[in-house]
Each structure stands twice: as C-alpha cells, then as structure tokens.
C-alpha cells in the first residue's frame, strides 16, 4: 500500500495553487466584504479546464476523476472558499446531467456546462413549488424555491422535482426562462461571494430529462445517493482547504510575531496548538482522498464521503478558531484572513447535519 499521489495529481495541485494565488487571492477580501460575485473567475476556471473535471471528454469534460476534483476544490478553498463552492455547485449540476441525462440532453446542455460556456447549479424540490403537467415532458411551475445556490447568476438550473404520487423527475430550466425571477441575494455570515437566493416561478416551463423522468422511489435513491456523494466529497475538500489556509496563516504569524524575545511559535502552548491543527488537516485530507478514490473505482463510498465531510468540516471550524486565537486581537479584524476562514467554515458546517444519518444508515446495512 502506497500513500502517495501520482505525479499527475501533484502537477495539477501546483497549477491550481498558482492560479488561486494569482487570480483568486487579490480580490478575495473585497469580494467577501462587498458580497460580490465575479463571473470572470468562473470564466478563468473554464480556461484552466476546471469546469468539467470528472466528466468524460466526449461531453466536453476533462475526463479525470473525483480525486483530482477534490484536490482542485481544496486548493481553491485554501484561498477563496466562495470560488471553490461555486465550482463545486456547478460541477454537481453537470455531474447529474452526465450520469442520468439522455444523450440528446448531454449534447445540447451538458457540453456548454463542462466547457464553462454556461454556469449551472442545482435546485431541489420544495413544498412551496407546484407543477402542472402540460405534456409528456413539460410541466408548468408556480411558486418558489428558497435558498438556491447561484440563484440569479446561473445560466441553467438542474431541478429535482418530487411528485405527489411518488417518484420524482429531473429537468432543466434556463436562467432566462420567462416567468423566472430571483429575490435579492441573501446576506450571509460566510461564503459571502457565493450568491444564494429564492427562485420565484410564474408559469415557468420545466423540461424533463428524457432518460430519467418519473423515477421510482428506489431509482430515486440511486440518483440522490450519487448527488450526495459528490456534494459530500466536495464539501469535505472545501473544508480541508479552508483549514489549510487558516493553518498557513497561523504558522506564518507565529513565526513573525515575537513575545518575550522569541517568535510565539516557539512557545510550547502555541506550538502544541499548531501541531494539533496540522494533524487534523492532514487527517481530513486523507479521508477526502479515500472517499474520492473509492468512488472513482465504483466502490461503496456513501459512508466514506459522509465521514470525510463530517470530520473535515468539524475540524475546519476548530482549526479556524485556533488560528483566530493565535492571532489574538488581530484575529477578529477584517484585514487578516483568519476571521474569514472561520466564517466560511461555519457556513459549511450549517449544511452538514445529514452526514450523521448517512453514516449510520450505511453502517447499519
């Protein structure tokens, strides 16, 4: 057994780290402060070939795997978590199309997503949304969907709609569809450069994927499991990146800040904190890699992905808190990055509760 990444993965890490430092880092503070979404960053990711990493080349993707995908998200989140989450949400939408859409839908809608010409997101059914069948593959939607990621800026919404009689449908809604509007973006604690808002529908056409309309409950579980696995791996990778960024900042500060005639990093209390932080970041990273590696090989990975997410987010929050403590009073100031890492980690934590049930349900089988 060899715990070492192949050269391809390390080269990808180095390239994405350079991209993050040069393209994302300079404006990260202002984007967070102003809650500003910058579409040009997504366009630059597309130029880098990052917008369709785990999608087959014949559909415009990179033809790579979830392990490289997790490394990319980690490196982006190390500098700007909002940008990493944007790419994760977009990739999840493309992933659903690639795995469960019809060939005709892939040709018309998937390739623009994987090549980055279009920005996609995913929207989940809610009791506030109602649909009326207008034809074999068309519904009219009225109502709203609360708190949709990338609402108002996405070009395509991949929708998961539950039916009253059971089962569900997957479909596509164009961002410029007549009757589709968006409430003002929510003001959030963290991930502030990542828009999230309510989508409003007034007689909006909803076109089903021909290949997966009205799935049974059992088939629905398979689709939802696929979505949860890639989302959990993505969130775990993002949390690991946030934790690594907080650790890097704390280490640099501990070397520069002197107290009692020596850098504070050489004081036992601070040194122990940094050691614990480093150990937890490394443990998070390998949990993510294991989940991604297992998924890439078709092995059962739902529990592994949920464990990675649960552990990585928990320790991202803890690492960011310790980083703030090491910075002392400066840790609470906006001009230093650690308070942003803490806010971003807490925002990821807010959506992680289902990990416990996912782990327990898998272990009980």
146: in domain: yes
The verdict on 265 and 142 lying in the same domain is no
Binned at pLDDT 50, 70 and 90, residue 126 comes out as confident
The verdict on 85 and 208 lying in the same domain is no
Asked if the model's pLDDT at residue 179 lies above 70, the reply is yes
The verdict on 74 and 132 lying in the same domain is no
Q: Is the dihedral of CA 106, 111, 117, 120 positive or negative?
A: positive
Q: What percent of the chain has pLDDT over 70?
A: 91
Task: At 101, list the tokens.
Answer: 């859409």
Binned at pLDDT 50, 70 and 90, residue 164 comes out as low
Asked if the model's pLDDT at residue 365 lies above 60, the reply is no
Determine the pLDDT at residue 6.
87
Asked if the model's pLDDT at residue 340 lies above 60, the reply is yes
Q: Specify whether the CB–CB gap between 203 and 258 falls below 8 A.
A: no
Which residues have CB under 8 Å from 49's CB, separation 6+? 62
Determine the pLDDT at residue 359.
55
Domain boundary among 99, 114, 129: 114
Rg (CA), the chain: 21
Domain boundary among 162, 193, 215: 215
Please count the structural domains in the chain: 3
Domain carrying residue 102 = 7-114
Mean pLDDT of 246-261: 92
Per-residue burial over 45-81, b if 16 or more Cβ lie within 10 Å, else e, is bbeebbbbbbbeeebbbbebbbbbbbbbbbbbbbbbb
Binned at pLDDT 50, 70 and 90, residue 211 comes out as very low
Average pLDDT, the chain: 89
Domain boundary among 215, 232, 259: 215
- When comparing pLDDT for 358 and 343, which is higher? 343
2: in domain: no
Mean pLDDT of 299-309: 93
- Convert the pLDDT of each residue in 24-58 to its tens digit: 999 999 999 999 999 999 999 999 999 999 999 99
- Give the up-direction half-sphere exposure of residue 10: CA atoms within 13 A in the CB hemisphere: 4
The verdict on 124 and 243 lying in the same domain is no
The verdict on 167 and 298 lying in the same domain is no
294: in domain: yes
Mean pLDDT of 284-311: 95
- In the structure, how many helices (H) and strands (E) does the chain have? 12, 9
Q: Specify whether the CB–CB gap between 209 and 101 falls below 8 A.
A: yes
Mean pLDDT of 102-111: 81
The verdict on 168 and 209 lying in the same domain is yes
What pTM was estimated for this model as a whole? 0.93
Determine the pLDDT at residue 363.
44
The verdict on 300 and 190 lying in the same domain is no
């Amino acid at each position: 057994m060899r715990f070492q990444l192949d050269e391809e993965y390390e080269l990808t890490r180095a390239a994405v780290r350079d991209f993050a430092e040069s393209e994302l880092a300079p404006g990260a503070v202002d984007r967070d402060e102003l809650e500003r979404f910058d579409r040009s960053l997504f366009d630059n990711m597309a130029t880098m070939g990052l917008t369709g990493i785990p999608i087959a080349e014949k559909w415009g993707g990179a033809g790579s795997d979830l392990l490289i995908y997790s490394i990319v998200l980690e490196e982006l989140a190390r500098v700007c978590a909002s940008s990493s989450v944007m790419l994760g949400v977009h990739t999840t939408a493309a992933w659903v199309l690639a795995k469960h859409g019809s060939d005709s839908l892939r040709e018309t809608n998937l390739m623009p997503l994987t090549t980055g010409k279009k920005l996609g997101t995913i929207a989940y059914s809610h009791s506030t949304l109602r649909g009326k069948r207008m034809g074999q593959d068309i519904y009219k939607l009225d109502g709203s969907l609360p708190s949709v990621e990338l609402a108002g800026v996405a070009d395509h919404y991949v929708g998961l709609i539950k039916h009253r009689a059971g089962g569900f449908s997957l479909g596509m809604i164009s961002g410029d569809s007549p009757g589709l509007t968006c409430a003002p973006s929510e003001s959030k604690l963290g991930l502030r450069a990542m828009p999230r808002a309510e989508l409003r529908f007034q007689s909006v056409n909803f076109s089903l994927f021909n290949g997966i309309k009205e799935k049974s409950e059992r088939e629905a579980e398979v689709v939802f499991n696929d979505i949860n696995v890639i989302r959990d791996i993505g969130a775990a990778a993002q949390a690991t990146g946030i934790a690594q960024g907080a650790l890097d900042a704390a280490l640099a500060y501990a070397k520069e800040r002197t107290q009692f005639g020596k850098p504070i990093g050489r004081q036992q209390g601070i040194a122990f904190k940094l050691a614990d932080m480093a150990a937890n970041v490394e443990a998070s990273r390998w949990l993510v890699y294991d989940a991604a590696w297992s998924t890439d090989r078709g092995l059962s990975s739902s529990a592994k992905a949920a464990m990675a997410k649960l552990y990585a987010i928990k320790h991202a929050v803890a690492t960011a808190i310790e980083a703030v403590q090491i910075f002392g009073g400066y840790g609470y100031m906006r001009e230093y990055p650690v308070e942003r890492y803490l806010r971003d980690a807490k925002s990821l934590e807010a959506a992680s509760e289902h990990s416990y049930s996912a782990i327990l349900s898998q272990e009980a089988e």
